[in-house]
């Protein structure tokens, strides 16, 4: 028996324990251990029933994602499944932690499933651009019916044990902490009763009522058109589930395999699998001592009760931290506190939050008009007006007030963190925590590492990010850090292009088709042209629009016209402003571009900026930039982010495109293109 699997027989129950850290993924080693373990039990006449259980933090959490697209070796999943399902002895899957993907599909092959109340089960493959390709699309509908299967598999969210029991996804609950005993007792009971070898594949009752009803699937796709846009996997999942209703099991499995193959070889899935690991890489800082211990953070001070301050306060409260929010102006403080109370109230009304949890969170919020109130906090996050003098003054004051070991963080989105830190006597305890608005919702947290930021401070910032459920990306000090800096050329190019003929709606449409939720002009109108242009005295296209009161959506007009329900229509007035501005700037060449050409115009310069930021060491790796753009700017995940996308396009083509636009390609980009290298692969 391999080290990954151990077997034991107690009173006729064979127990196979899989131990393959960290998550018992179905790697070649795990498959081998399953194959050997089940063969051994099949040949052992003393074994009358089998329990499959896992050691460590979880039941099998899925296929080994790093094996996809490679020669897998060892017994195939199908071989392993065959001996479990048809081995002639009842098998009980004993589930704790998360039985996901191939792990839950394996549990569906077993004849029974028992789980502890804290366990979760599900088929999350959609998030990897895949479908459950080991029978999940054929077996789950046979348990829960077609409508529930559509939601569960296209949504991908795990289901808690209680709900899973109600849906039939598991058969019984074991006492928390006593899974092994519970599963052995369940198996012993089966032996005693001569428990039947029920196979999920043989069930028809849940799918029969939906047979011959193609409209179920077309209506489902129409209803979710917005969420599925650009992705491939949801469409193949729906086709596979339709096959579960319409075809005999064996044929359904063949159909599932074809549809899986289409996905696993697609760029979309490659991008989404790359992104899965990219998100987890962010917390691993390359030049960082491994044994540094983060400081404990229980109380957080937030300075500023504006949009950012209240969002940050809620992100902390949501994670169970105590928050003291400080604002000098009483009315502003009251407004901030009311916003927080109101947000929780709405979440309760929508059934997203239990009333007692909302109470608890609000109970952990203190407000104050004086900085002294944060003297006991472990971490202070400043979210005041973006002005260096104000920030320097504030940091000097906080330095005198804060505990010596407290960390002081700035939420600045572009100011020099080293300069801010120099205003204190503890630059090693200063770090940037750049949240994206709304800070309680957006998952990205850029952690800005100043030249003096200590490893302990950085480790604490990283563990704080995990605590408040953010995805961290570490950035060096530089204007705009990562996401804002690399995405800026998109807007600049859009504005320049609009002077040469293409209308804002045509440019926005090209960005929408690429996969962004909206284009740069619609976005500018949403945020407000006055907000975007704040601090600049230059004459710009925006300043010309502002001059005639076109501040964006809130004023009924910006780059677009808006009706009372804020529906946008192309604006002849804005078109005239653009034409006048172009004339004033001496731009007379008019060009016509296809949507693809617009994408190149706007996004190749983004790639160029990414290459610069990587070369300068502001970002440690290409994948960090991709994560920042996907989570911070809604760059479509199925393209993998700007760096992965550039590799897909071909770096040589990007270089040529930039040169054709009269933009000097970044040194690193040119080198990689010349050497046939990529940013993200190999
Ligand atoms: C599938 O099954 C398809 C089947 C079709 C049949 C052919 N593979 O997230 P964490 C690593 S598709 C390889 O930090 P948590 C992860 O990279 C798969 N590695 O922990 C990390 O490594 P590091 C369907 C994996 O406690 C470490 O484990 N399954 C896999 O916050 C810890 O991960 C899924 O999509 C894997 N499958 O969350 C589940 N999973 O320490 C994906 C994790 O070197 N996984 N690793 O950085 C998860 O959702 C979560 O990892 C979790 C644990 C909920 C299991």
| pLDDT means over runs of 10, the chain (682 residues) | 87 97 95 96 96 97 83 85 93 98 97 98 97 97 97 98 97 97 97 87 95 97 97 98 97 97 96 95 83 94 96 98 96 97 96 95 97 97 92 96 97 93 97 96 97 96 97 95 96 95 96 96 92 78 93 94 94 95 89 95 98 96 97 97 98 98 97 96 78
Q: Is 673 in the pocket of ligand 1 (CB under 6 A)?
A: no
Q: Is 135 in the pocket of ligand 1 (CB under 6 A)?
A: no
Could you write out the DSSP letters of every residue in 280-336? Answer: HHTT--TTS-TTPPPPP--EEEEE--SHHHHHHHHHHHHTT-EEEEE-SSHHHHHHH
Catalytic residue set: 105, 125
Dist. CA 479 → ligand 1 center (Å): 35
CB-based contacts of 528, cutoff 8 Å, min separation 6: 551, 552, 553, 554, 558
Other beta carbons within 10 Å of 335: 14
Which pLDDT belongs to residue 535? 65
Cis peptide before 284 (omega within 30 of 0): no
Q: Whose CA is nearest to atom 53 of ligand 1?
A: 23
Which pLDDT belongs to residue 397? 96
Question: How would you classify the pairing of strands 568-570 and 560-562?
Answer: antiparallel
Give the 3-state secondary structure of residue 435: strand
Quote the DSSP letter at residue 158: -
Dist. CA 101 → ligand 1 center (Å): 10
CB-based contacts of 195, cutoff 8 Å, min separation 6: 49, 90, 111, 112, 189
* 113 neighbors 182 (Cβ within 8 angstroms): no
Q: Whose CA is nearest to atom 5 of ligand 1?
A: 133
Give the 3-state secondary structure of residue 241: helix
Whether pTM exceeds 0.90: yes
Quote the DSSP letter at residue 591: -
* 635 neighbors 617 (Cβ within 8 angstroms): no
* 662 neighbors 682 (Cβ within 8 angstroms): no
Give, for ligand 1, the residue of 18, 28, 61 to mutate: max count of ligand atoms closer than 8 Å to Cβ. 61
Which pLDDT belongs to residue 225? 96
What's the rounded Cα separation, in Å, for the pair 365 and 317?
A: 7
Give the DSSP H or E segment for 82. Answer: helix 77-85
Residue listed under structure tokens 């080198």: 671
Closest ligand 1 atom to residue 62 Cα is 2
Other beta carbons within 10 Å of 86: 11
Q: Is 421 in the pocket of ligand 1 (CB under 6 A)?
A: no
* 338 neighbors 309 (Cβ within 8 angstroms): no
Closest ligand 1 atom to residue 65 Cα is 8
Which pLDDT belongs to residue 2? 56
Residues 15, 21, 25, 28, CA torsion sign: negative
What phi-psi label fits residue 207: left (phi over 0), alpha (psi between -120 and 50 degrees) or beta?
A: alpha
CB-based contacts of 65, cutoff 8 Å, min separation 6: 25, 128, 273, 276, 277
Dist. CA 63 → ligand 1 center (Å): 8
Which pLDDT belongs to residue 68? 77
CA distances from 161 to 5, 235, 518 (A): 25, 28, 38
What's the rounded Cα separation, in Å, for the pair 613 and 487?
A: 12
Which pLDDT belongs to residue 294? 95
Q: Determine phi and psi for 456, rounding to 5 degrees.
A: -65, -45
Q: Whose CA is nearest to atom 41 of ligand 1?
A: 22
Dist. CA 130 → ligand 1 center (Å): 14
């Amino acid at each position: 028996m391999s080290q990954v699997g151990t077997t034991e027989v107690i009173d006729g129950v064979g127990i196979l324990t899989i131990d393959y850290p960290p998550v018992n993924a179905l790697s070649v080693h795990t498959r081998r251990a399953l194959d050997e373990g089940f063969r051994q039990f099949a040949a052992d006449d003393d074994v009358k029933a089998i329990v499959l259980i896992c050691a460590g933090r979880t039941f099998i959490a899925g296929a080994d994602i790093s094996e996809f697209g490679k020669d897998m070796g060892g017994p195939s999943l199908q071989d392993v499944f065959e001996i479990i399902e048809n081995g002639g002895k009842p098998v009980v899957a004993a589930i704790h932690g998360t039985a996901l993907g191939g792990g839950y599909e394996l549990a569906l092959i077993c004849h029974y499933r028992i789980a502890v109340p804290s366990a979760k089960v599900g088929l999350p493959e959609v998030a990897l651009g895949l479908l459950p390709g080991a029978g999940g699309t054929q077996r789950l509908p046979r348990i829960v019916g077609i409508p529930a299967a559509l939601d569960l598999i296209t949504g991908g969210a795990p289901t808690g044990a209680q709900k899973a029991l109600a849906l039939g996804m598991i058969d019984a609950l074991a006492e928390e902490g006593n899974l092994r005993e519970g599963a052995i007792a369940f198996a012993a009971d089966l032996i005693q009763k001569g428990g039947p070898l029920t196979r999920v594949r043989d069930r028809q009752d849940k799918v029969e009522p939906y047979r011959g009803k193609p409209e179920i699937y077309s209506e489902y796709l129409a209803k979710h058109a917005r969420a599925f846009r650009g992705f491939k996997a949801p469409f193949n999942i729906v086709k596979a589930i339709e096959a579960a209703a319409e075809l005999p099991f064996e044929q359904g499995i063949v159909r599932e395999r074809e549809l899986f193959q289409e996905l696993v070889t697609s760029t979309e899935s490659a991008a989404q699998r790359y992104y899965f690991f990219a998100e987890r890489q962010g917390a691993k800082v390359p030049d960082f001592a491994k044994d540094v211990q983060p400081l404990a953070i229980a109380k957080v001070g937030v300075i500023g009760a504006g949009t950012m301050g209240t969002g940050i306060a809620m992100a902390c409260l949501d994670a169970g931290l105590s928050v003291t929010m400080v604002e000098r102006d009483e009315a502003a403080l009251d407004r901030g506190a009311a916003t927080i109370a109101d947000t929780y109230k709405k979440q309760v009304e929508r059934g997203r939050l239990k009333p007692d949890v909302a109470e608890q969170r609000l109970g952990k919020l203190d407000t104050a008009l004086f900085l002294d109130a944060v003297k006991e906090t472990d971490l202070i996050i400043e979210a005041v007006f973006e002005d260096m003098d104000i920030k320097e003054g504030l940091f000097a004051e906080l330095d005198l007030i804060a505990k010596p070991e407290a960390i002081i963080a700035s939420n600045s989105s572009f100011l020099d963190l080293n300069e801010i830190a120099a205003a204190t006597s503890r630059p090693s305890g200063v770090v940037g925590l750049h949240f994206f608005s709304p800070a309680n919702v957006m998952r990205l947290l850029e952690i800005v590492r100043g030249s003096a930021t200590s490893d302990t401070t950085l480790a604490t910032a990283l563990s704080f990010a995990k605590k408040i459920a953010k995805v961290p990306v570490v950035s060096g000090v530089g204007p705009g850090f990562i996401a804002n800096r690399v995405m800026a050329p998109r807007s600049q190019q859009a504005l320049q292009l609009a002077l040469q003929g293409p209308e804002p709606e045509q440019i926005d449409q090209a960005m929408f088709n690429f996969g962004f939720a909206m284009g740069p002009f619609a976005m500018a109108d949403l945020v407000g042209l006055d907000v975007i242009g704040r601090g600049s005295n230059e004459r710009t296209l925006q300043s010309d629009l502002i001059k005639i009161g076109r501040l964006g959506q809130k004023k009924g007009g910006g780059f677009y016209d808006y009706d009372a329900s804020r529906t946008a229509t192309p604006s002849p007035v804005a078109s005239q402003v653009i034409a006048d501005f172009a004339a004033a700037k001496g731009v007379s060449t008019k060009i016509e571009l296809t949507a693809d050409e617009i994408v190149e115009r706007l996004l190749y310069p983004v790639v160029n900026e990414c290459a610069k930021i990587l070369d300068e060491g502001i970002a440690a790796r290409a994948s960090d930039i991709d994560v920042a753009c996907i989570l911070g700017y809604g760059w479509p995940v199925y393209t993998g982010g700007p760096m992965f996308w550039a590799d897909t396009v071909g770096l040589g083509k990007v270089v040529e495109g930039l040169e054709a636009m009269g933009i000097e390609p970044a040194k690193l980009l040119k080198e990689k293109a010349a050497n046939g290298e990529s940013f993200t692969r190999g």
